[in-house]
Amino acid sequence: MVSNVNHCQGFEEDESDFINFKGKQVIVLGGGDTAMDCNRTSIRQGAKSVSCVYRRDEENMPGSRREVKNAREEGVQFLFNRQPVEIIGKDKVEGIKVVETVMGAPDENGRRKAEVVEGSEQIIPADAVLVAFGFQASPSPWFDKFGIETDAYGRVIAPKQGKFMYQTTNEKIFAGGDMVRGSDLVVTAIDEGRKAADGIMDYLDI
């Protein structure tokens, strides 16, 4: 989708970066907001069909309700309680193997786990499969050299409760947004940027 945005904007550097789903049977894996954006982007590219495969049931989907509703209106099919296990196809994608699941007991976070039903494997045909399982932190290789420490997940350590808000382990450097929180929201990134500015001004004695 990043490349689709680039395509629309004329920013792309390399034509092959752009993937088009016109006339394709598209399967999107995942039930988060990333998945909804993939679904709806594929529809707009003129995909023949778009199916969203999610391992839990509708009630347990993490995506925003509004976006799920918009996706459905635009023609996205939802397949719930299907855990993807394998993408089928040699040189090109031919389909995806899934197993059915049922909702089990809640886990330690109170979220109900999806339990696999034995012998329920099936193959859903597809020309393209999009994996939308979220994003992970991506610390820059030069952080170490400047004493910028990260946690076990690669997120930069810059606590709100520090001496100066959102100061990193290098006193002159502050940080905020997704690189500190892990992928989250626009409004939380804004909040941290604003508070970090206050932290910087305190540090500079302004």
Ligand X SMILES: Cc1cc2nc3c(=O)[nH]c(=O)nc-3n(C[C@H](O)[C@H](O)[C@@H](O)COP(=O)(O)OP(=O)(O)OC[C@H]3O[C@@H](n4cnc5c(N)ncnc54)[C@H](O)[C@@H]3O)c2cc1C
Residues 77-136 that bind another protein (CB under 8 A): 84-87, 89, 93, 128-131, 133-136
Measured distance CA(88)–CA(96) in Å, rounded: 5
User: Would you give the distance in Å from CA 33 to the centre of its chain?
Assistant: 7
Q: Which of 64, 122, 136, 170 binds ligand X (CB under 6 A)?
A: 64
Task: Choose among another protein, ligand X, none what residue 114 binds, the Cβ cut-off being 5 to 8 Å by kind.
Answer: none
CB of 104 to ligand X, least distance (A): 14
Pick 30 or 95: Cβ nearer ligand X = 30
* Longest distance between any two alpha carbons in the chain, whole Å: 67
User: Would you give the distance in Å from CA 79 to the centre of its chain?
Assistant: 19
Instruction: Based on the shown chain and the rule CB under 6 A, indicate whether residue 184 belongs to the binding site for ligand X.
Output: yes
Any idea which residue has 């394709």 for tokens?
Answer: 24
CB of 45 to ligand X, least distance (A): 15
Task: Choose among ligand X, another protein, none what residue 173 binds, the Cβ cut-off being 5 to 8 Å by kind.
Answer: another protein
The three state secondary structure string of 148-169 is CCECCCCCECCCCCCCCCCECC
Measured distance CA(26)–CA(127) in Å, rounded: 6
Instruction: Based on the shown chain and the rule CB under 8 A, indicate whether residue 16 belongs to the binding site for another protein.
Output: no
Measured distance CA(177)–CA(168) in Å, rounded: 13
Instruction: Based on the shown chain and the rule CB under 6 A, indicate whether residue 30 belongs to the binding site for ligand X.
Output: yes
Instruction: Catalog residues that contact ligand X under the rule CB under 6 A.
Output: 1, 30-35, 37, 54-55, 62, 64, 67, 83-84, 133-135, 177-178, 183-187, 189
